[in-house]
A and B are shown apart, each in its own frame.
Chain A
Amino acid sequence: MTVDVSLQVNGKAVSAAVDPRTLLVELLRQQLKLTGTHVGCDTSQCGACVVHVDGRAVKSCTMLAVQAEGSSVVTIEGLAQGNTLHPMQEAFRACHGLQCGFCTPGMIMSAVDLLQRNPNPTEAEIRHGLEGNICRCTGYQNIVRAVSTAAAKMRGDSAAA
């Protein structure tokens, strides 16, 4: 049995017939070929699969595709404007906020959501805000620095690098 699901993904209307078991991340990666969203653990721990659903960061491995019916989903592919990286992507690049890059899409989606709610976070608030995202390479220092840098840039602080 399949269920029809209609949603917006990165601003485009999408419809698909899915088995109800299909996870949102499976719809994105396998049917829509948006492979920027990663599956790290598949057990809701690591945050590599984070996307935005109706403006909120969620783990797409712990949500059924049918639960996204009528929703607007934004993935890592939806952040850049053409060839211009989103300020968060640019800050991760500039601050060396990644090494292997596997956690990076989820990390960036979580960080963008964090700044939507708190445009001027302290270091402690950034660390608290990224508690659902695990990175095994960087030790987090440069990730926190990247988020802080992006926040300053997005606020328009002149001192921002």
Chain B
Amino acid sequence: MHILFAILAGTTIVTSRNVNAMLAKKIGAIESTFFNYFVGLLLSIVVFFFSKEAILPLFIPEGFSDVIMYLGGILGVVAIIISNFITPKISAFLMTLLIFISQLITGIVLDFFLYGEFSLPKVIGGFLVLIGLIYNLYLDKKDNTETAK
């Protein structure tokens, strides 16, 4: 079940990115990011309302791990602003590749710190995922250059 959820997260990322890109063409990238969070906040409040989860008071962060867990939402915005900035300056192929590479390497490092052990299957698996992505991205790139000619 958790596996299916992780795959579906990829589906919703791409769908929402495409919808946001359509909106960005009309009103601008930053403005579309604003609506992304605005609509997201409204819907998550509705979902929360039906979830029967308790409203807990936010506790004051004490240690490092307390502080960083509040920063996820802000990092998301920083990532979007950076990607708006770099998208016109770099080929889609290279950008996707670089983001995927550092994403997976960071994931492996974070899991190492979280679970305290170095997982060889995760490294090998991550490397294979990367090869598969690079191969398909390369097919896209080859196709684009041929159309350009």
The answer to whether A and B come from one shared complex is no
Q: Which chain A residues have a beta carbon within 8 Å of chain B's beta carbons?
A: none
